[in-house]
A and B are shown apart, each in its own frame.
Chain A
Amino acid sequence: MAVGSGGFVGKVLRVDLSTGKITTEDTHERYAGLLGGAGIGYRVLWDEVPAGTGPFDAANKLVFATGPLVGTSVPCNGRATVTTLFPTCWPKPLVGSGHMGGHFAAKLKYAGYDALIVEGQADKPVWLMIRDARVEIRDARHLWGSGIRRATLEISQELGPDCVVAAIGQAGENLAPMGMVINSVSHSAGGVGGIMGGKNLKAVAVQGSGAVRIAGDKAAWEALVKFHLSILGANNQHVVPSFPTPQAEYYNPASRWVGQPGKRWGAAKPPLELPGNIHDPNSIAFRTNSAVYFLGDEAWKYTVRGNGCTACPIRCHTMLKMPSVTAKYGIPDMGQNTCVALMFGRTFFKQLANKKNNETAMEACMVGMHLADDLGLWSNYGQLQRDLRKLYEGGYLKARLGSKEYASIPWDKYDSADPAFLLDLLPRIANRQGELGEVLSRGTGAIFDHWSIPESEWAGDHATTYWKMGHPKHHANEDDGQCGVIINTQYNRDAQCHSHTNFVRNGLPLEVQKKLAAAIWGSPDALDAPGDYTPANVPKARRAKWSLLRKELHDALGVCNWMGPWAASPLRERGYTGDDSLESKFLSLATGQTMDREELDRVAERIFTLHRALTIRDMGRVDMRAAHDIVPPWVFEDPSGKAALTKGTIRMDPADIAKAMDYFYEVMGWDKATGAPSQARYAELGLAEVGEALAAAKLTPEAAK
Chain B
Amino acid sequence: MDTTRGISSEWIKRAAKATGWEGELTRRGFLKLSACALTSLAFLDLGEAYGENAPLVILDNAQGVILADPTRCVACGRCELACTEYNDGRAQPSLARIKIARAVNFGPSGPTGGEAMHGDWGDGLVIQGVCRQCPHPVPCATACPQNAIVADPQTGARVVDAAQCLGCRLCQQACPWGMIAFDEKAGVAAKCTLCKGKPKCVEACPAAALRYVPWRDLTRDGSPTRPTLSVVPPETAKACLDCHVTAGAKATK
Please give the residue numbers on chain A whose beta carbons come within 8 Å of chain B beta carbons, in ascending order. Answer: 6, 71-73, 103, 106, 110, 149, 152-153, 156-157, 161-164, 184-185, 208-214, 218, 221-222, 225, 229, 268-270, 272, 275, 280-286, 304-313, 315, 319, 321, 334, 336
**Which residue of A162, A308, A336 has the most chain B CB atoms within 10 A of its CB atom?**
A162
Residue B120 at the chain A interface, CB threshold 8 Å = yes
| A311 pairs with B111, CB closer than 8 A | no
How far does the alpha carbon of A272 sit from the alpha carbon of B206 in the complex, in Å?
15
How far does the alpha carbon of A164 sit from the alpha carbon of B75 in the complex, in Å?
14
In the complex, which residues 196-234 of chain B have their Cβ closer than 8 Å to any Cβ of chain A? 203-208
By a CB distance below 8 angstroms, the chain A residues around B73 are 305
Nearest CB to that of A214 among chain B residues?
Answer: B89
| B86 pairs with A222, CB closer than 8 A | yes
How far does the alpha carbon of A315 sit from the alpha carbon of B101 in the complex, in Å?
16
Least CB distance from A262 to B in Å reads 16
By a CB distance below 8 angstroms, the chain B residues around A285 are 74, 76, 206-207
Least CB distance from A164 to B in Å reads 8
| B208 pairs with A72, CB closer than 8 A | no
| A103 pairs with B104, CB closer than 8 A | yes
Subset of 19 A-B contacts with CB under 8 Å: A73-B81, A153-B111, A156-B110, A156-B111, A161-B102, A161-B106, A162-B105, A163-B105, A211-B185, A213-B90, A218-B85, A221-B89, A222-B86, A285-B76, A306-B74, A310-B76, A311-B77, A319-B124, A334-B123
Pairs of residues from A and B, 6 with the lowest C-beta to C-beta distance, nearest first: A313-B206, A211-B92, A73-B81, A209-B94, A211-B90, A285-B207
Least CB distance from A215 to B in Å reads 8
Nearest CB to that of B87 among chain A residues?
Answer: A218
Nearest CB to that of A309 among chain B residues?
Answer: B76
Least CB distance from B123 to A in Å reads 7
Nearest CB to that of A232 among chain B residues?
Answer: B206
Least CB distance from A182 to B in Å reads 12
Query: Apart from A73-B85, A211-B92, A315-B76, what are 8 other A-B pairs with CB-CB below 8 Å?
Result: A6-B90, A161-B106, A213-B89, A218-B85, A225-B85, A285-B207, A306-B74, A310-B76
Residue B184 at the chain A interface, CB threshold 8 Å = yes
Nearest CB to that of A70 among chain B residues?
Answer: B91
| A72 pairs with B111, CB closer than 8 A | no
Nearest CB to that of A69 among chain B residues?
Answer: B91
By a CB distance below 8 angstroms, the chain B residues around A282 are 203, 205-208
How far does the alpha carbon of A185 sit from the alpha carbon of B75 in the complex, in Å?
13
Report which of A157, A164, A229, A315 forms a contact with B74, defined as CB distance below 8 A: A315
Nearest CB to that of A216 among chain B residues?
Answer: B89
In the complex, which residues 32-82 of chain B have their Cβ closer than 8 Å to any Cβ of chain A? 71-78, 81-82
Nearest CB to that of B208 among chain A residues?
Answer: A282
Nearest CB to that of B122 among chain A residues?
Answer: A334
Residue B93 at the chain A interface, CB threshold 8 Å = yes
Known: A156-B111, A162-B105, A212-B90. A281 touches B206 (CB 8 A): yes
How far does the alpha carbon of A6 sit from the alpha carbon of B75 in the complex, in Å?
25
In the complex, which residues 116-170 of chain B have their Cβ closer than 8 Å to any Cβ of chain A? 120-125
Overall SS of chain B's interface: loop
| A275 pairs with B208, CB closer than 8 A | yes
Nearest CB to that of B86 among chain A residues?
Answer: A222
Report which of B95, B104, B123, B207 forms a contact with A211, defined as CB distance below 8 A: B95
Known: A103-B104, A157-B111, A311-B77. A211 touches B84 (CB 8 A): yes
Report which of A152, A162, A307 forms a contact with B75, defined as CB distance below 8 A: A307
Known: A307-B75, A311-B81. A210 touches B92 (CB 8 A): yes
By a CB distance below 8 angstroms, the chain B residues around A218 are 85-86, 89
Nearest CB to that of A281 among chain B residues?
Answer: B206
How far does the alpha carbon of A184 sit from the alpha carbon of B111 in the complex, in Å?
13
Residue B187 at the chain A interface, CB threshold 8 Å = no
By a CB distance below 8 angstroms, the chain B residues around A163 are 105
Nearest CB to that of A304 among chain B residues?
Answer: B124
Nearest CB to that of A209 among chain B residues?
Answer: B94
By a CB distance below 8 angstroms, the chain A residues around B184 are 209
| B121 pairs with A149, CB closer than 8 A | yes
How far does the alpha carbon of A313 sit from the alpha carbon of B204 in the complex, in Å?
9
| A268 pairs with B74, CB closer than 8 A | no
Least CB distance from A229 to B in Å reads 8
By a CB distance below 8 angstroms, the chain B residues around A281 are 206
Least CB distance from A606 to B in Å reads 27
| B74 pairs with A162, CB closer than 8 A | no
By a CB distance below 8 angstroms, the chain B residues around A304 are 123-124
| A312 pairs with B101, CB closer than 8 A | no
By a CB distance below 8 angstroms, the chain B residues around A305 are 71-74, 124, 207
Residue B113 at the chain A interface, CB threshold 8 Å = yes
Least CB distance from B81 to A in Å reads 4
How far does the alpha carbon of A6 sit from the alpha carbon of B205 in the complex, in Å?
24
How far does the alpha carbon of A104 sit from the alpha carbon of B74 in the complex, in Å?
17
| B208 pairs with A211, CB closer than 8 A | no
Least CB distance from A624 to B in Å reads 40
| B121 pairs with A268, CB closer than 8 A | no
By a CB distance below 8 angstroms, the chain B residues around A73 are 78, 81-82, 85, 91, 204
| B91 pairs with A153, CB closer than 8 A | no
| A270 pairs with B85, CB closer than 8 A | no
By a CB distance below 8 angstroms, the chain A residues around B104 are 103, 162
Nearest CB to that of B113 among chain A residues?
Answer: A153
How far does the alpha carbon of A152 sit from the alpha carbon of B120 in the complex, in Å?
12
How far does the alpha carbon of A110 sit from the alpha carbon of B81 in the complex, in Å?
12
By a CB distance below 8 angstroms, the chain B residues around A284 are 206-207
How far does the alpha carbon of A336 sit from the alpha carbon of B121 in the complex, in Å?
10
**Which residue of A209, A211, A225, A304 has the most chain B CB atoms within 10 A of its CB atom?**
A211
Known: A73-B91, A209-B94, A270-B71. A286 touches B207 (CB 8 A): yes
By a CB distance below 8 angstroms, the chain A residues around B113 are 153
Least CB distance from B86 to A in Å reads 5
How far does the alpha carbon of A651 sit from the alpha carbon of B73 in the complex, in Å?
45
| B124 pairs with A321, CB closer than 8 A | yes
Nearest CB to that of B107 among chain A residues?
Answer: A161
By a CB distance below 8 angstroms, the chain B residues around A208 are 94
How far does the alpha carbon of A252 sit from the alpha carbon of B77 in the complex, in Å?
31
Report which of B74, B82, B89, B95 forms a contact with A307, defined as CB distance below 8 A: B74
Report which of B72, B204, B205 forms a contact with A272, defined as CB distance below 8 A: B72
By a CB distance below 8 angstroms, the chain A residues around B110 are 156-157, 161
By a CB distance below 8 angstroms, the chain B residues around A184 are 105, 120
Least CB distance from B156 to A in Å reads 25
By a CB distance below 8 angstroms, the chain B residues around A311 are 76-78, 81
Nearest CB to that of B200 among chain A residues?
Answer: A222
Nearest CB to that of B211 among chain A residues?
Answer: A282
Known: A72-B81, A321-B124. A214 touches B75 (CB 8 A): no
How far does the alpha carbon of A72 sit from the alpha carbon of B93 in the complex, in Å?
10
Least CB distance from B32 to A in Å reads 45
By a CB distance below 8 angstroms, the chain B residues around A229 are 206
| A110 pairs with B89, CB closer than 8 A | no
| A156 pairs with B89, CB closer than 8 A | no
How far does the alpha carbon of A281 sit from the alpha carbon of B207 in the complex, in Å?
8
By a CB distance below 8 angstroms, the chain B residues around A161 are 102, 105-106, 110-111
Nearest CB to that of A75 among chain B residues?
Answer: B78
How far does the alpha carbon of A334 sit from the alpha carbon of B111 in the complex, in Å?
17
Nearest CB to that of B121 among chain A residues?
Answer: A185
By a CB distance below 8 angstroms, the chain A residues around B94 are 110, 208-210
By a CB distance below 8 angstroms, the chain A residues around B78 are 73, 311, 313
Nearest CB to that of B110 among chain A residues?
Answer: A161
Least CB distance from B93 to A in Å reads 7
By a CB distance below 8 angstroms, the chain A residues around B207 are 282-286, 305-306, 315
By a CB distance below 8 angstroms, the chain B residues around A211 are 84, 90-92, 95, 185
By a CB distance below 8 angstroms, the chain B residues around A71 are 91
By a CB distance below 8 angstroms, the chain A residues around B123 are 304, 321, 334
By a CB distance below 8 angstroms, the chain A residues around B185 are 211
How far does the alpha carbon of A286 sit from the alpha carbon of B86 in the complex, in Å?
24
How far does the alpha carbon of A542 sit from the alpha carbon of B89 in the complex, in Å?
38
Least CB distance from A224 to B in Å reads 11
Nearest CB to that of B79 among chain A residues?
Answer: A73
